[in-house]
Amino acid sequence: MRTWGNALQNGRVVDCEDMGNAFDFSLERLTGQGIPGGLESAGAGGEVSSGRLAGGLAGLESGAYVDNVGGKALAGTFFLETFGCQMNDHDSEKVAGVLLSRGYRQVDSPDTAAVILYNTCSIREKAAQKIFSRLGEYRFTKKEGQVIGVLGCLAQQEGEEIFERAPWVSLVCGSASYRKLPQLIAQLEAGNTRITGLETDTDETFETEMTRRDNPWRTYLTIIEGCDKACSYCVVPFTRGPERSRASASVLAEVRQLADLGYTEVQLLGQTVNSYADPSARRMRFSELLAAVAAVPGIRRVRFMTSHPRDFGKDIVEAIEAVPALCDHVHLPVQSGSTTLLRAMARTYTREEYLEKIAMLRGAKRRISITTDLIVGFPGETPKDFEETLSLMDTVRYDGAFSFKYSPRPNTPSLQMEDAIPEEEKSRRLAILQARQRDIQIERNARLVGDVFEVLVEGKSRRENQWMGHTSCNRVLNFTSPVKELLGHYVQVRVTRAGPNSLAGEAVHAGDAR
């Protein structure tokens, strides 16, 4: 599965060049120039030949495409590429699990796949354009019998329009319909070439026991899907539907299974993860769920992403203070430092209220790293509003920020607002903001030189003795150690150098057991 943004892909260790890229990507993620890491940031012509689908390939238990697919070499194979946030990454792991359970085999290239799937993001116009350009490549190159499907946010947003723009596509399925994927795939296997799953009025979440997880040590777990917040620029409430939380007992049962499988780090996911509302009689609060997950034997780290400032309470900070396994990192998107713009964005908090949450975090007994999302060039953003964003950054001194130019999205209220700020001006403001944030990161990271952090080791360089991993505060730390095997272990590392986007250091002793 090709994804955008994972240093470690398909559970394989990245090699030296890849590792360099992975590090570079981390740089991008921290400076906000890449694909959003925060969940909030919060994505003619040609005949479709009906892929013939039959069961019967030896070793396949169910009806994966098995013949007449541009040659037998492609039979029963799928390729899945993911765009966007961690929610999409994790959805793709579940989609892959569903396909594998139906007898498909995953391949690394669309050229060798019978079924080609794109799990899409539509949070920004650029992401949508990229996906349509990807689909356009198949106008002349789609092999006979190959099936192309569009999943996720763009699928939900564009719906059947995708069939008009790219008639070679056979499946359009939004994330709220993933639980129906087995049936939808069965319809494809039966030879149908126009399959849709586009409902959003569901109170179910997409749970499956078949998830194929990409990283052998850290894992995602969705606890709430959809969003009820209705920020004026955001497509998510439209593409992912209303908020649906998963029962706490079900979450904890899965965490126990994951711990039994050897996972030590769990990241709880949701578009607004801290708006979690346990639907069971237990009515566990989000902060209680965090502590309960952290208490599962074998779990050493718990992260959560993304928090909405309105629902971010003192109890979450107290949980982080009290439970060492809760990572000392909070991603708290602000979007703008101007209360006027926050109102226009329908963010439901003022600058002052947001800063109160920051004061709560900065006053914690543990040092908590804070990252954010920022939008420049929102309709009506005056130079004064922009200055207020810069001054808020100076006040908060974020450890990292994803920053973006506003782009109008379909089905959002801000589409009705005049998008009067020229692109060049948006670019100018973005460059100023990112330069400011870079300076802040240089200063904040430099202060960490000499400190010792525990690192979960996730990558190994081809260069002798070089490793990479993440600290609890979610910084990338590249380090040296003569120990032969450290992947998946927790290692104490002393920081010796700091850049704007990552740290470097050396292990102070060998990794302990997982």
Question: Which residues, in sequence order, are bridge partners of residue 459?
Answer: 468
| Smallest gap from residue 372 Cβ to ligand SF4 (A) | 12
| Smallest gap from residue 375 Cβ to ligand SF4 (A) | 9
Q: Cα 276 to chain center, whole Å?
A: 18
**Nearer residue to ligand SF4 within complex by CB, 73 or 415:** 415
**Nearer residue to ligand SF4 within complex by CB, 110 or 237:** 237
Give the span between the Cα atoms of 500 and 401, in whole angstroms: 12
Is the C-alpha dihedral spanning 64, 2, 93, 227 positive or negative?
negative
| Smallest gap from residue 148 Cβ to ligand SF4 (A) | 28
**Nearer residue to ligand SF4 within complex by CB, 273 or 327:** 273
| Smallest gap from residue 308 Cβ to ligand SF4 (A) | 5
Give the span between the Cα atoms of 78 and 281, in whole angstroms: 41
Which residue, 220, 200, 337, is CA-closest to 269?
A: 220
Is the CB of residue 290 less than 8 Å from the CB of residue 268?
A: yes
| Helix boundaries (H) for 109-260 | 125-136, 138-141, 153-158, 161-165, 181-189, 236-240, 248-260
Is the CB of residue 195 less than 8 Å from the CB of residue 370?
A: no
**Nearer residue to ligand SF4 within complex by CB, 153 or 259:** 153
**Nearer residue to ligand SF4 within complex by CB, 8 or 42:** 42
| Smallest gap from residue 311 Cβ to ligand SF4 (A) | 10
**Nearer residue to ligand SF4 within complex by CB, 244 or 308:** 308
Give the span between the Cα atoms of 367 and 379, in whole angstroms: 36
Backbone angles phi, psi at 197, to 5 degrees: -135, 95
**Nearer residue to ligand SF4 within complex by CB, 227 or 476:** 227
Give the span between the Cα atoms of 1 and 92, in whole angstroms: 8
Q: Where are the beta strands (DSSP E) in 359-489?
A: 369-376, 400-405, 452-460, 466-471, 476-480
| Smallest gap from residue 122 Cβ to ligand SF4 (A) | 12
CA distances from 166 to 135, 139, 173, 219 (A): 7, 8, 15, 34
**Nearer residue to ligand SF4 within complex by CB, 237 or 337:** 237
Binding site for ligand SF4 (CB under 6 A): 40, 42, 227, 229-231, 234, 236-237, 271-272, 308
Contacts of 466 (CB under 8 A, 6+ apart): 460, 478, 479, 480
| Smallest gap from residue 276 Cβ to ligand SF4 (A) | 13
| Smallest gap from residue 271 Cβ to ligand SF4 (A) | 4
